[in-house]
Amino acid sequence: MRGIYIHIPFCHQICHYCDFNKVFFKNQPVDEYIESIGAELSIMVKEGVSFEGVETVFLGGGTPTSLSENQLDRLLTIIHEYVDVNSLKEFSTEANPDELTYGKLEVLKDGGVNRLSIGVQSFDSDLLTKIGRTHGPDDANRVVDEARKVGFENISIDLIYGLPGQTISQWQDTLNKATALELPHYSGYSLIVEPKTVFYNLMNKGKLPLPGEDIETEMFAMLMDHMEMQGRMRYEISNFAIPGHESIHNLIYWENDTYAGVGAGAHGYLDGIRYSNSGPIAQYMEKTKQNVRPISQTHIVTETEAMEEEMFLGLRKVDGVSISSFQKKFGRSLEDVYGQTLQSLIGTGLIEQKMDRVKLTRTGVFRGNEAFQKFLK
């Protein structure tokens, strides 16, 4: 196991585009839930799961920074009981700008967290209101400044393009203001309208004025070009970093490697099995009280599925898929398994082979889903 993902499902505000497992913070058993995290980790250890040598811990949500200082401190104390935090390569948490106070930053830093992933999304006040965010551009600037004062150097912010009513000039302004912060890492994602969200309901009513596909494609090109000009190199379709500041935890996913998922609705991949925990908080907590793993679903990954995942996850990386590593991992050559598919995609200009690696071309980056689907049987 290389990483641990811990899910904190609480939010003070639900964003209009979010479909993750989350609930409003008010009247929730937050303290009891944190103890359930510890119970789940304890159960895993008793069942023989080892956290020795883990490279990363990632706190996601929901919103981990919706917790109070005391709650964050308790959560981090529990994590220390099961993980040698000092040996981690990376300890990250997601954060909202308006909830990440100076006091919480100090708690996180003292608890071993060394990387912040801040959900800024936009530097346009009107757009932030439209998408259900409760912070403003000034909050983003403040929290970055305070994080640096506390001692955080590895800071990333998330941005979203293709938002309702968003213009090219608004996106360029957000890119300018984001990179003016001179952070080591940036993520830029296109808006995906997911079922069971406010945006999905509005779209079905014809009340969601999304930019067209051509404009969204232009915004993606702007993102790539702007980040490269600022020395933030793209290492995955949507992620950019100064070399050496790539997200190690996310690379575990894209390298199709193993990680534990802890918390309500969390997903994990261990010993060739993908699993998901119970999503409802009460159900999750009840199972941990009964001293059983709160797993709701499991799937044994077949060799064919593992090879498919190796390709469509690995091709998300700029470095692509290593031909020799594929051979070593599966005992079969990439040419033997996907030779015809590779030649077809090379012929259409979506991928290229350079030395030991197969990777997307620039055209392929824009048409990534089309290339990925070719590896699915």
Dump pLDDT digits (tens) for 352-373: 999 999 999 999 999 999 999 9
In a domain, 262, yes or no: no
Which of 211, 227, 253 is the last residue before a domain boundary?
Answer: 253
* Mean pLDDT, rounded, for 187-201: 90
Residues 197 and 326 in one domain: no
In a domain, 258, yes or no: no
Residues 234 and 350 in one domain: no
pTM above 0.85, yes or no: yes
Weakest-pLDDT range from 45-59, 122-136, 242-256, 291-305: 122-136
In a domain, 301, yes or no: no
In a domain, 289, yes or no: no
Residues 97 and 212 in one domain: yes
Residues 203 and 344 in one domain: no
Q: Estimate the crossing angle of helix 303-314 against helix 323-330, to 10 degrees.
A: 160
Strand, helix or coil at 236? strand
Which of 204, 238, 253 is the last residue before a domain boundary?
Answer: 253
Residues 128 and 234 in one domain: yes
pLDDT-derived band at 202 (thresholds 50, 70, 90) equals confident
In a domain, 302, yes or no: no
In this predicted model, which residue has the larger pLDDT, 24 or 129? 129
What are the backbone angles phi and psi of residue 278, rounded to the nearest 5°? -55, 135
Residues 29 and 158 in one domain: yes
**Res 12: pLDDT:** 74
**Res 251: pLDDT:** 97
Instruction: Please work out, in degrees rounded to the nearest 5, the angle formed at the alpha carbon of residue 125 by the alpha carbons of 121 and 131.
Output: 55
Q: Distance between CA 285 and CA 37 in Å, rounded?
A: 9
DSSP summary character for residue 211: P
* Mean pLDDT, rounded, for 71-90: 96
Number of domains within the chain: 2
Q: Which domain holds residue 151?
A: 3-253
**Res 15: pLDDT:** 81
Identify residue 274 by its one-letter amino acid code: R
Which of 226, 253, 280 is the last residue before a domain boundary?
Answer: 253
pLDDT (tens digit, 9 = 90+) per residue, 27-80?
899 999 999 999 999 999 999 999 999 999 999 998 999 999 999 999 999 999
In a domain, 272, yes or no: no
What are the backbone angles phi and psi of residue 62, rounded to the nearest 5°? 50, -160
Residues 245 and 326 in one domain: no
Instruction: Please work out, in degrees rounded to the nearest 5, the angle formed at the alpha carbon of residue 212 by the alpha carbons of 314 and 171.
Output: 75
* Structural contact between residues 351 and 372, judged by C-beta atoms closer than 8 angstroms: no
Residues 222 and 342 in one domain: no
Residues 241 and 359 in one domain: no
Q: Distance between CA 112 and CA 85 in Å, rounded?
A: 6
* Cα dihedral across residues 91, 41, 280, 275: positive or negative: positive
Flag whether pLDDT at 223 surpasses 80: yes
Flag whether pLDDT at 334 surpasses 80: yes
The CATH number for 351's domain is 1.10.10
Flag whether pLDDT at 26 surpasses 90: no
Instruction: Tell me what the pLDDT averaged over the chain comes to.
Output: 95
**Res 16: pLDDT:** 77
The CATH number for 153's domain is 3.80.30.20
Q: Distance between CA 179 and CA 221 in Å, rounded?
A: 16
* Structural contact between residues 197 and 16, judged by C-beta atoms closer than 8 angstroms: yes
* Structural contact between residues 346 and 359, judged by C-beta atoms closer than 8 angstroms: no
In a domain, 109, yes or no: yes
In a domain, 311, yes or no: no
Flag whether pLDDT at 377 surpasses 80: no
